[in-house]
A and B are shown apart, each in its own frame.
Chain A
Amino acid sequence: MNSELFENLRLELRRGCLILAVLAELRTEHYGYALRKALADRGMAIDENTLYPLLRRLESQGLLASQWREEDKRNKRFYRLSSDGEIILKQLLDEWNAINSSVTRIIEGEPIAEELSI
């Protein structure tokens, strides 16, 4: 029960982070498999059944652009961040940093501003 609960909560926590990681990684152009490897190498492993539908969704939302191109005699689909994606990524990173520092303050039990002024 506990491991199942943990797994559900972990997936919930990861869901938003994955989008951020994919968008950030695609500041540099990648094709699907290379993107998967790059994310895994940085400690953010993502299975293909999650990544490819996510890439399609982000592209349909205008955050990514893609094109089929030949590389090493094979056709591969390359993705990169679109101009809209860059704006959204910046906003998301600001939000991420704000959430991260808030959660850190909460975890460390840092006194809130009003308490300090008293």
Chain B
Amino acid sequence: MELVDRYLYAVRSGLPKGQQDDIIAELGEDIRSEIEDLETGLGRPVNEAEVVEILKQRGHPAKVAGRYLPQQYLIGPALYPIYRLVLKIVVLWALVPVFVFVVGPIAIATVVHPTRALIKTLWDLAMSSVFTIGVVTVVFAIMERYPVDAKPFEKWDPRKLPRVPKTPPDSRRTPRATAIAELAASLVISSLFVAWFRTTFDFADVRITLTPIWRSLYWPFLLVLLSGIPKGWVSLMWPERTRLRFSIRLAINAVTLVLVAVLLNAGSWVDITAPGLPAAGIAEAVKWTNFGVKISLIIFAVFAVIDGIPDARRIFRKKPSWNYSIAT
């Protein structure tokens, strides 16, 4: 019976405190009864292999002990879908784009060793993701253990629900606040572009120079940025003219795609000069910086296409019918 005692001892360590003696006594009794039953059937005492088989059938001690624990999961089925959605939003829609489009390019463009900067950016992204996932998980685990007050969901009155609007709510309309923000952002970004556009950047002993293609595309880029002003104006003044707004946006995306294609065709976008550094190192830095710019431009183009497809569909689709009456 030494094996049984060892098994019970292992189970005991995983049991809730205060119930260990009771559960182990009952479990031990159950195992002994099963062994006795088997011995009666066989007409002889069980051997070690048979005891091993009985214990293995009952499962790993940690698994057995786990069945007595009050809660089997960190985040239950009710909260899990929301947990997944929050993780998706935070990591895929916020962290990754910020690192890919902001942190990464800045880090790569402002250091001498772009490869190291790229690796560091990826490492920082991984660490930030792990930390964020950890925080979100802890928050949801707390919500699981201390559920929020469900009274507002129980005490409700159908008569207090908002009335159905008489005219169809056009989901394609831009809210007034968004239109104003769009207009303001376009003005600010265009102003910054005009004020700060330059083709050389000096960092200590390193000079980063943009190739001539950027200078030649200055005016087209400025026009694309300024086109946000008429788009925002249309959204603000004529929110019902959704087709016009989508057409402007589609045109902006098309022009952006053409500009990106011209840029990609140039093949080289950045040059680096650093008198104090070895030529081989500088060449490597130029190579990787240009590679980073190329990838960014491709991603930018992909996003312009992804952004443009729904606009094209919206321009040509019929307005949704509006009928919420249960009488029809």
- Residues of A with C-beta under 8 A to B63: 49
- Residues of A with C-beta under 8 A to B64: 49
Name the CB-closest residue of B to A76. B29
- Cα distance A108–B64 in the bound complex, in angstroms: 42
B105 to chain A, nearest CB (A): 44
- Residues of B with C-beta under 8 A to A32: 26, 29-30
- Residues of B with C-beta under 8 A to A34: 33
* Size of A's binding interface in residues, CB under 8 A: 17
Please classify the interface of chain B as helix (H, G, I), strand (E, B), loop, or mixed, using the class held by over half of its residues. helix
- Interface assignment of B100: CB less than 8 Å from any CB of chain A: no
Known A33-B34, A74-B32; judge A49-B26 contact (CB<8 A): no
- Residues of A with C-beta under 8 A to B34: 33
Please classify the interface of chain A as helix (H, G, I), strand (E, B), loop, or mixed, using the class held by over half of its residues. helix
- Interface assignment of A75: CB less than 8 Å from any CB of chain B: yes
A47, A56, A77: the one within 8 Å of B29 (CB): A77
Known A48-B58, A49-B64, A53-B68; judge A75-B27 contact (CB<8 A): no
Whether B58 contacts A75 by the Cβ 8 Å rule is no
Closest 7 pairs (CB-CB, A-B): A33-B33, A53-B67, A49-B67, A33-B30, A77-B26, A32-B30, A53-B68
Contacts A32-B26, A49-B58 aside, 15 further interface pairs with beta carbons under 8 A come to: A31-B29, A34-B33, A48-B27, A48-B58, A50-B67, A52-B23, A52-B26, A52-B27, A52-B30, A56-B19, A68-B25, A74-B29, A74-B32, A77-B25, A77-B26
